[in-house]
Structure 1
Amino acid sequence: MALVEQTHRNSVTSSKTVTEGAVTHGLEKQKDNEQVAEKPYSIYTRREKWFIVMVASSAALFSPLTANVYFPAIPTIASAFHTSIESINLSVTVYMVLQGISPMFWGTMADSVGRRPILLACLLVLCLSCIGLALVPTSAYWLLMLLRCIQAAGSASTVALGAGVIGDIGTPAERGGFFGIFALGPQVGPALGPIVGGILADKLGWRSIFWFLCMMSAACFALMLIFLPETLRRLVGDGSVIPSPFYRPLVPLVGKGRPPSPLMNNPLRLLFYLDVLNLLVFNGILYAVFYAVNTTISTIFATKYPFLNEIDIGLCFLVIGGGMTISTVLSGKMLDADFQRTKNRLVKKAEEDPEKRIRPEDVTREENFPVERARLRMIPIFTAIFVLTCGGYGWSLQRETNIAVPLILQFILGYTFMAIMNCMQTLLVDLLPSQSSSITACNNLVRCSLGALMVSVIDLLVNALGPGWTYVLLAGICMACSPMIWLAIWIGPRCRAKRRARNTAA
C-alpha cells in the first residue's frame, strides 16, 4: 500500500514538473515570438532613413531635369542644326522611349545586384553622354538623337532605383511620407529645369545646358560614392549584414551588408498581374495627358502670348512645377495619415469583434489590410479636379485669356497630377516591396511609352482641333478611365491572395 502511494506521489510530481516545464517553454516561446514581432523592419534610425531618402532623391532629380531643361532651347537647337522644330521634337520622343525602356534593364539589375552600383553606373552614363551632347557638331543630327537616347538611358532609371531604396528601408506606414519627400527631387526638374534651360540658352548658348548637366551629375555621382550605403534587403537584410567593400560608401555614416549570389528576375512578368497592369495603365494615361500639357507650354505660349521671350517662357514652367513640388510634400503626409486612419479603424473593429477572428496587432498583415483602399481613398477626387482643370486649361489658351488664368490652372494640374502619381507609386511598391525597382521600372515603361506616343501626336492634335478641343478630348479620355480606380480596389485583394497562394505552394 505504501508502495502504491509513493508511486502515485512520484507520478503527480512528475506530471507537475512536466506541466511546469511545458508552461515555462510556452512562455519562453511566446517571449521569443514577441521579440521577433517587435524586430524593426530596418536597423536605420528615422534620421538615417531620411538621409538615405534625400541622397536618393538627389539622383532622381536628373530623370525629369534632363528632359525639361531642354524644352526652352528647342527653337534655338532647331536653328543651330538647320532643321525643323518637329525634327527636334523627335529627340524628345526618342528620349521618352528610352526613358520608358531603360529602367526595365537597370531596375531589374538593381533588384539583383544592388541599388548602389546601379545608381553610380547610371550617373556615370549620364555624365559622359552630357559631355558628348555639349560637343556634338551641328552637322550630325543623327548623333544628337543617339546621345539623347544614351542620356535618357542614364538618367531615367534614377527614379525607379530611388523607389527601390525606399522599399528597402521603409515600412508601409512610412513609405507615403518618404515618397512625398523623395519626389521633391524629381519635381525640382519640371519646376526649375525650364528656367535654367531658358537662361543658359539665352545667355551662354544651348551647349551650356549640357555642360551644366554634366557638372551636376558628376557632383551627384561623388555624393553617392561617398555616402550612399547599399540597401537591397536580399544583400544586406535589414542593414545589419556586413557587405563586401564594393557595396560600402567611402564614408560609412549608415548601413552594413554582405552580398549573397545574385538572382535575376524578369520584370515583364509583373505586367501579367491584373491588379498591377490596371494601375499602370491608369497611371500611364494620366501621365501622357500631363506630359502633353508640359511639352506644349513653350510652343503654345509663344504663339498665344508673343510678348514672352525664352526666359519668360521658362518661368512659366515654374508654376506647374511649383504645384507639383507642394503636392509632393502634402500628398506624402496625406498617404501616411490615410494609412494610419485605416489601421486605427481596423484595430478598433478587431477589438470589438466578439469572435476575435483577427488580433488587433495583425491588422497590418498583408492578408488583412486593404492597402488599395487606404492608398486610393482620395484618387477619385484628385482625378475629377484634374479632368475639369485640363479642359479649362485648353479653353483658356484657345480664348487667349489673361496669362494668369492658364498659369493658375497649370498649378492645379501640377498639384493633382503629382498627388495621383505619389499615391499610385506608393501602392505599387506596397504590392511588391521586394521588387520595388522592377515595379517602378514597369511603371516607367508603360507611362513613358504612352507619353512618347502622346508627344508624337500632340502637335498634330493642337493644329487640327486647337488647344481647347484638344484638351477637352484628353480630359474625356481620363474621365473614361476613372472606373479603373474602383476596379483596383475591387480586384486588388483577390490578386494579392492568389500571389500569396502561389508563393506558398512554391
Structure 2
Amino acid sequence: MFSVEAGEVEAPYSIYSNKEKWTIVGMVALAGFYSPLPANIYFPAIPTLAKAFHQSTEAMNQTVTIYLIFQGLSPMAWGPISDRHGRRLVYLVCLAILILSSIGMAVCPTDQFWLLLFLRCFQSGGSASTIALGAGVIGDISTSSERGGYFGMFNLGPMLAPCLGPSLGGVLSQELGWRSIFWCLVIMVAVCLLSIALFLPETLRSIAGNGSIPVPKRLRAIVRIVGRKVSHEAFDPATQTQAKHSVNPFVILTYPDVIVLLTFTGIVYAVNYTITATISSSFAKIYPDLSETVLGLCYLPTGAGMMIGSTMTGKMLDWEYNRIKRSKGEEFTIEYARLRIMPFYLGLFIVCVMGWGWSLQARAHIAVPLGLGTILGWTSIGILNTTMTLNIDILQSRSSGATACTNLVRCSLAASMISVIDRMTNAMGDGWTYTFWGGICALLLPLMFLEIRMGPKWRVKREAAETARD
C-alpha cells in the first residue's frame, strides 16, 4: 500500500472482491491443469502407443522425458515476458500452440515417431507456462495474508492433472483408441482458451495497477464479469508498479534464499512425480489382471489426497501468517510464518515414500499402495503450496519468473529421475529404491531451518541492493 494524507481514502491493493478473486483464480487454475495433463493423460496408453508406432516402451518413455524437459525450459521465456508485457496475451498464445500441436499429434502417421517427439516439444512449450502465468496472476491480485488460500486453489489444477489425466486417458484409449486422447485435449483446451479470451482481465500491476487503471483494448477481457463495480476511491495510478528492466529470469537462480527453496521443492516434486508416473507400469506388473481403465482409476486416490491437502494447506498458510504476524510483531518474518509446519509435512511424506516402495516389493493388497498414494498426494501438494507461496512472497514483482525457475528445477530433476527409476528398481528392488529417495528427502530438512534463519537476511540485503540500483 502507498501512504496517504490525512482524510484521504487509501486505495485497496486490488479492486476485486473476494468472490471476484476466486473467479480469477478458478480460471487460471483451469489453465494450469493443462500444463502437466498432456504428459500424463496417456500414461495408461503407453504400451498401446509403443505397439502402434513400432517402438519399445522405453523408447516411448522418451515422449514423457522430452515433455518434462521443455516443461522446465519454456516458462523461462514466457514467464518473464508476461511479467513485462502482461498475462492475457501470453495465455492466449500458449494455449493456441497447445491446441495446434495436439491436432498434429492426433493425426500423426504411425511410421513417423520422430514427428511425435517433435510435436511433443511444441505441446510442452505451449502448455507448460500456464503454471508460471497463474502464479503471476495470484501475485498481482492478492496480499501475503490471503495468498496461501488462493495458491492452494490454483495448485489444484496442475497437481490434479497427473492423477485425473491417466484415468481419462485409460478410458479413451481403451474405448476410442489412442488418437482420441489428443482430440479430447484439443476440445478441452479450446474451451479453456475461449474462457480466458472472454473473461480473464489483465492483472499485471505495471499495466493495470490494482485493476482500476484502463488497459489497452487488446489486453481487455471481451466480457467483463469481474471488476464491474469499481468505486471512485479505488482508482489510483500509484498502484501501477514499475516494470523490471531485465526479463532475464536466470538471475533469480543466483539468490541464495531462492536456491534453497528450489532445491527443496525440486527434489520433493521429482520423487513424488516419479511415483505418480510409474503407478500404471508398477501396478501392471504386480496386479496383471487390471485393465487400462482400472489402471487409470488407480490414480484417483492420489488426486483425492491432493484436493484435501490443497484446501487444508491454503487455509492453514493464511491462518498461520495472520496468527504469527499478530504474535511476533516486529520480529515477524514471512519465512518463519510459511515454513513452520514444513517438518510435519516432510516427515509424513518420507514415511509414505518408503512405505510405497516396500508395499510394492511385498506385493501387498492393492488397498495399501492406494492408501499411501492418498497421503502422498496430501503431503506433496502441502509442501509444494507452501514453498511456492513463499517464493511469490519474496519475489512478488517477478512472480511468473520465479515460478518459471521452480518449473525448470523440478521438471529437470523429475526428467532425470524418471530416466533412471526403472534401472534402480530392477537393480535394488522397489523397497530399497524408495528407501533411498526417502532418505534423500530427509536430508532436505536442514534446508528449511536454514531458510527460516538466513532467508530474511538474504532477502533484506537483496531488496536494499535493488532499491539502490533503481
Residue by residue over 1:392-450, the C-alpha shift from the partner in whole angstroms, topping out at 9 and shown as x without a partner, is 11000000011100110111111100000000010000001010000000000000010
Q: How far off its partner does 1:324 sit? A: 1.0
Q: How far off its partner does 1:191 sit? A: 2.8
Q: Does 1:386 align with 2:339?
A: no
| Residue equivalent to 2:97 | 125
Q: Counterpart amino acid of 1:443?
A: T
Alignment of 1:69-88 (within 5 A): 69-88=41-60
Q: Does 1:461 align with 2:443?
A: no
Helix, strand or coil at the partner of 1:139: coil
Q: Does 1:169 align with 2:151?
A: no
| Residue equivalent to 1:397 | 360
Question: 2:317–2:386: 8 Å Cα contact kept in structure 1?
Answer: yes
| Residue equivalent to 2:293 | 311
| Residue equivalent to 1:203 | 175
Q: Counterpart amino acid of 2:395?
A: L
| Residue equivalent to 2:20 | 48
| Residue equivalent to 2:315 | 333
Q: Does 1:470 align with 2:433?
A: yes
TM-score by length of 1: 0.88
Alignment of 1:91-240 (within 5 A): 91-240=63-212
| Larger of the two Rg values belongs to structure | 1
Distance 1:403 1:385 in 2: 20
Q: How far off its partner does 1:188 sit? A: 3.1
Question: 2:206–2:243: 8 Å Cα contact kept in structure 1?
Answer: no
| Residue equivalent to 2:277 | 295
Q: How far off its partner does 1:135 sit? A: 0.4
Change in CA separation of 1:136 and 1:496 when aligned onto 2, cut-off 3 Å: same
Distance 1:426 1:75 in 2: 38
Identity of aligned residues (%): 51
Distance 2:43 2:6 in 1: 57
| Residue equivalent to 2:401 | 438
Helix, strand or coil at the partner of 2:210: coil
Question: 2:336–2:452: 8 Å Cα contact kept in structure 1?
Answer: yes
TM-score by length of 2: 0.94
> Which runs of 5 or more structure 2 residues have no equivalent in the other structure?
229-234
Distance 2:218 2:245 in 1: 18
| Residue equivalent to 2:336 | 373
2:5 to 12, 32, 39: 32
Question: 1:41–1:238: 8 Å Cα contact kept in structure 2?
Answer: yes
Helix, strand or coil at the partner of 1:63: coil
Distance 1:208 1:337 in 2: 44
Tell me which stretches of 4 or more aligned residues in structure 1 moved more than 2 Å: 33-36, 253-264
Residue by residue over 1:161-182, the C-alpha shift from the partner in whole angstroms, topping out at 9 and shown as x without a partner, is 0010000000001100101111
Distance 1:333 1:34 in 2: 35
Residue by residue over 1:244-300, the C-alpha shift from the partner in whole angstroms, topping out at 9 and shown as x without a partner, is 101001112235999998844210000000000110011000111111101111111
Distance 1:461 1:74 in 2: 21
| Residue equivalent to 2:380 | 417
Q: How far off its partner does 1:463 sit? A: 1.1
Question: 1:74–1:88: 8 Å Cα contact kept in structure 2?
Answer: yes
Change in CA separation of 1:261 and 1:417 when aligned onto 2, cut-off 3 Å: closer
Q: Counterpart amino acid of 2:113?
A: Y
> Which runs of 5 or more structure 1 residues have no equivalent in the other structure?
1-29, 348-362
Helix, strand or coil at the partner of 2:299: helix
Q: Counterpart amino acid of 2:12?
A: P
Helix, strand or coil at the partner of 1:251: coil
Distance 1:503 1:34 in 2: 33
Distance 1:283 1:181 in 2: 18
Helix, strand or coil at the partner of 2:247: coil
Helix, strand or coil at the partner of 1:183: helix
Question: 1:230–1:255: 8 Å Cα contact kept in structure 2?
Answer: no
Question: 1:113–1:262: 8 Å Cα contact kept in structure 2?
Answer: no
Q: How far off its partner does 1:44 sit? A: 1.1
